[in-house]
Amino acid sequence: MNIIPLSKNYSAVFQIEILSETYEFRTLYNSRFNNWSFDLIKNNVEIASGISMVLGTDIIKQFNLGLGVLFMVDLEQTNIDATAFDIGERVVLVHATQEEIDNAITV
């Protein structure tokens, strides 16, 4: 499992390696709806757009990308989605393979 570093910059672009492939993340904070989302780009092609960064679910499952699992974790267990001020600190983005998730469940 890996924590993907996030910035409180309302619109940030960064690259990260997932399963030996490089992906570009474009994060965006929507102040009107008070929520974070991101776009996922591979080889300059947008493969998923407007993914809501919410707690409690595999946020990329619906796209069937074969990347494993991406989920938001509230480190303080307040059960409140990330705000403009605490993403990357109180709430972090975690990547795990399905095998890592399965192993964690059976422990």
| Predicted TM-score of the model (pTM) | 0.90
Tell me the average pLDDT of the chain: 94
3-state secondary structure string across 51-107: EECCECCCCCHHHCCCCCEEEEEECCCCCCCCCCCCECCCEEEEEECHHHHHHHHHC
**Boundaries of every domain in the chain:** 2-106
Check if the beta carbon of residue 54 is closer than 8 Å to that of residue 70: no
Q: What is the pLDDT of residues 7-39, one digit of tens each?
A: 999 999 999 999 999 999 999 999 999 999 999
Q: State pLDDT tens for residues 38-59.
A: 999 999 999 999 999 999 999 9
